[in-house]
Structure 1
């Protein structure tokens, strides 16, 4: 097989396709990903590209294209079957799935993590108002397992035989993913209600909002405590992501409940990235 038709070429093309998805959809994530070491950078992009595509099946483009709820469920089921087959076979005709499967097979990511992820994506097609139990189940599948996938990459990329990450790192990855998701729920709350009819947090008053932010801050603090034991080529990027969401948490706490979508200005994002790049420890959420 020549270089122009071989698997290595397809692997590179699939990886570039996944990277392109991330560059278009998330400037903040793309910035943090550039801070990862080359050992892990492409793998993390592969994970997030699959997550992004699944989310686009559930919301936005698929619906705008005229695909009804049943149709989106079929597409999502098909995507999960593609992922399962690629995990087993090592190949997919879908470049994003192929890139993800290569990462998953190399780093020990299995259906134990992909199945709850797809289950949470399906929830968005059937559940519009969450109670605490359904919120926790949704967040585990939609965010915590993504953190665990990234942790598997951090620990296992470049190794011969994948191993289980240390328990403290598992807890930290889950809590960081949960903090990220709840911050996104808070700042997207008005759009989720107006455009999608969804309520993930069941916030009735300012006390409920403060309770959610207190949980976010506790999760961010717990995650910060273990960033220092991650592999060195991952710490700066994770610190930058942590500090960006800590900044969002602070801005949400000081903003009125009916404020427009809270953002961190580009200049502040760059300052967060620079501080992390220079080796700064994760910042406190209420500083």
Structure 2
């Protein structure tokens, strides 16, 4: 086997590894990615896998293994160094990092996106509360840049005007922000009780009210509105996948709206799989479902 054949086989193994990560961890993200063509789906899976591994270092498996905060930070720093080296050289001994590097080098993802992401992950180790400035910075790094990475994958080989690109970038950032804020809202109980964190500025277990919930949901609605406006500019297949994500986030926001604020401090709200499949069927039309939020507010 030649050197080029060896690299091609290694690339394929790395991409399969990333695909397995998304299947193990995310029903919703995995569902949306399955709508994509094989090449684009591989890129999205590679992005998701790296994000998931970083998150597991900060909040999941590493803590389960009993690692100290200092060791967790060292592991995260090592993952970032390995990622940047792989992006520069095209190789990593870590299959997930290697898959991401293949995607980054193909789609144009650079350190202008990965460094803010790792900075936000690092904040989870050192920071338990946020003011508005640090919250905005955290959401950008942890979620908006992931939306921008996905957008790079969607647009490989396509030319867009500066005006079109501006709309798509705005939409990708706002969809990522909506996703993160919705997760913060539905994970209030775990963040407060298990992780000892408060992401939303000024929101604490003892002072979270219905008015707070509705204020946060209004901000999420605006994020979803802006991201929906960018849908027509996406290529057809990615447009269906993003429409599905849009629909899932909108449905989850509706369920959060129906749930009393006190209950959000005790339970995690989910979208049943049957409802997810209904939204998936609708997404195949290539349109989002932002009208549901308006219907709910007037119901």
Q: What do residues 30-74 of structure 1 show as CA deviations (whole Å, max 9, x unaligned)?
A: 111101122311100000000000000001210111110000000
Cross-structure match for 1:207: 211
Cross-structure match for 2:83: 83
Equivalent pair of 1:147/1:177 in contact (CA under 8 Å)? yes
Deviation at 1:129, TM superposition (A): 1.1
Q: Distance in 2 between matches of 1:82 and 1:42?
A: 20
* Residue 229 (structure 1) aligned with residue 228 (structure 2): no
Q: Between 277-286 and 4-13, report the one with greater CA deviation.
A: 277-286
Equivalent pair of 2:246/2:288 in contact (CA under 8 Å)? no
User: Would the alpha carbon gap of residues 78 and 57 (structure 1) be closer, same or farther in structure 2, given more than 3 Å must change?
Assistant: same
Q: Give the secondary-structure state (helix, strand or coil) at the position aligned to 1:228.
A: helix
Following TM superposition, the consecutive aligned residue runs of length 4 or more in structure 1 with deviations greater than 6 angstroms are: 161-165
1:2-151 matches, cutoff 5 A: 2=2, 6-151=6-151
Give the alignment's TM-score, normalised by structure 2.
0.91
Q: Give the secondary-structure state (helix, strand or coil) at the position aligned to 1:279.
A: coil
Q: Distance in 2 between matches of 1:266 and 1:283?
A: 20
Deviation at 1:282, TM superposition (A): 3.4
Equivalent pair of 2:250/2:289 in contact (CA under 8 Å)? no
Report which of the two has the higher share of helix: 2
Q: Distance in 2 between matches of 1:14 and 1:94?
A: 8
Q: Give the secondary-structure state (helix, strand or coil) at the position aligned to 2:39.
A: coil
Aligned-pair RMSD on alpha carbons? 1.9
Equivalent pair of 1:108/1:162 in contact (CA under 8 Å)? no
User: Would the alpha carbon gap of residues 104 and 255 (structure 1) be closer, same or farther in structure 2, given more than 3 Å must change?
Assistant: same
Q: Between 258-267 and 183-192, report the one with greater CA deviation.
A: 258-267
Cross-structure match for 1:268: 275
Q: Distance in 1 between matches of 2:113 and 2:283?
A: 29
Provide structure 2 residue ranges, at least 5 long, that are not aligned to the other structure.
Answer: none
Equivalent pair of 2:174/2:224 in contact (CA under 8 Å)? yes
Aligned length: 285
Q: Give the secondary-structure state (helix, strand or coil) at the position aligned to 1:92.
A: coil
Equivalent pair of 1:187/1:262 in contact (CA under 8 Å)? yes
1:236-275 matches, cutoff 5 A: 236-259=240-263, 260-275=267-282
Deviation at 1:120, TM superposition (A): 0.2
Q: What do residues 209-229 of structure 1 show as CA deviations (whole Å, max 9, x unaligned)?
A: 211100000000010011111
Q: Give the secondary-structure state (helix, strand or coil) at the position aligned to 2:262.
A: coil
Q: Distance in 2 between matches of 1:261 and 1:223?
A: 25
Provide structure 1 residue ranges, at least 5 long, that are not aligned to the other structure.
Answer: none
Equivalent pair of 1:250/1:286 in contact (CA under 8 Å)? no
Q: What do residues 125-181 of structure 1 show as CA deviations (whole Å, max 9, x unaligned)?
A: 01111111111110000000000000111112x56x999871111111001100000
Q: Give the secondary-structure state (helix, strand or coil) at the position aligned to 1:198.
A: coil
Give the alignment's TM-score, normalised by structure 1.
0.95
